[in-house]
Amino acid sequence: MSTTPPQPTSAISQILASKSEAPAVPDLIDLPSGKELDEASAAKLEVARPVRLVVVAGTVGCGKTTLLTSLYELFQWKAVSGYSFAWSDTLPAFERRCYLSRIASERSMQDTERTPYGQVRYLHLRVCGQDLPLGELDLLFTDVSGESFERARDSTLECQRLGFLSQAHHFLLLMDCEKLVRKEKRWEVAHDSMTLLRSCLDSGMLSSNSLISVMWTKFDYFEAVKSPENAQFLIQLRGEMEKEFGARVGRLSFSEVAARPTRVTTLKFGHGLPELLKYLLSSSPYERAMNLLPPTTLGSRESELFASRHFAASDESQ
């Protein structure tokens, strides 16, 4: 005679059933690809974290991509004092751009991959440092071809197509010293760069709050010559740019950079880049001190009389 085993109670059966069920696994796990960020991915990052957008602008061959890859490589050598690398969503993209400058490429001269025309892509770096408000900060750098900026220089309509310009925390305008040291080229380069900046302002893509950094790239070409005439030219060019644009932007600064110097041995790899990074991390057009002043005309209400006494006491204590 067969016996039927006792059936578990309802509470026990529920526990056994829950243990037998396999955990739910999503069909798709969204992991960073490591490639350049497109517009949608960049916007998603800006919503999730405090991000500063840095537009790297200039004509073809002025050193935009070389500047970015050299800054990335400085972190590998711990050559950026006070800051350290925290994260990047675009590591493979950085590495691909660095490849032509490495021994593995078997090239006799260092080079950098050129950015294709028509693409708007972003490279990402997260930097940590004790002087940062939240301990770390994300930087998004544009990687846009020189042809795009040349079109924007010649047409305000084309300039307005570069929508990222209006969101920029920093606008880096690169000027190629390899051409600036040549008398037959220097004023053409200067004119093109000034026209690009003028177009960005006239089209409304940059404003009176914009932080503009003019960067003399490949500065080792100037160091190799050290001509008084060349030095005077930079002084004259800086004066003309300050006269035309100084009052139209939030800040106009000038600096020299030699990301990968080859003409002289007195400049080290990444010359000027640590100072640039510190400036990018410490300055923002949206984080300025508010200019709060007491009202000049006070009424007879008690709240207004209190304000009068408060600010008068503050003035006497200073």
All domains in the chain, ordered by first residue:
39-282 (3.40.50.300)
Residues 83-111: tens digit of each pLDDT: 999 999 999 999 888 755 443 333 344 44
Over residues 167-207, the pLDDT tens digits come to 999 999 999 999 999 999 999 999 999 999 999 999 999 99
Question: 199 with 152: CB under 8 angstroms?
Answer: yes
CB 69 within 8 A of CB 94: yes
Q: Per-residue pLDDT for 140 more than 70?
A: yes
Cβ–Cβ < 8 Å for 127, 82:
no
211-217 β-sheet, strand order: 84-87, 120-128, 136-144, 51-57, 170-176, 211-217, 251-256
CB 64 within 8 A of CB 56: yes
The answer, as to whether pTM is greater than 0.75, is: yes
Residue-wise pLDDT tens digits, 292-314: 444 444 455 555 555 555 545 54
What integer is the mean pLDDT of 47-57? 95
Residue 33 or residue 139, greater confidence: 139
Contact 94, 123 (CB under 8 A): yes
Contact indicator for 101, 259 with CB cutoff of 8 Å: no
1 Cβ neighbours under 8 A, 6+ residues apart: none
Strands 170-176 vs 211-217: parallel, antiparallel or unpaired: parallel
| Cα gap 235→176, rounded to integer Å | 16
Say how many C-beta atoms besides its own lie within 10 A of residue 33's C-beta: 12
DSSP H helical segments within 60-120, as ranges?
64-76, 91-98
Structure tokens at 68: 């970015």
232: part of which helix (H) or strand (E)? helix 228-245
- Pairing status of strand 51-57 against strand 136-144: parallel
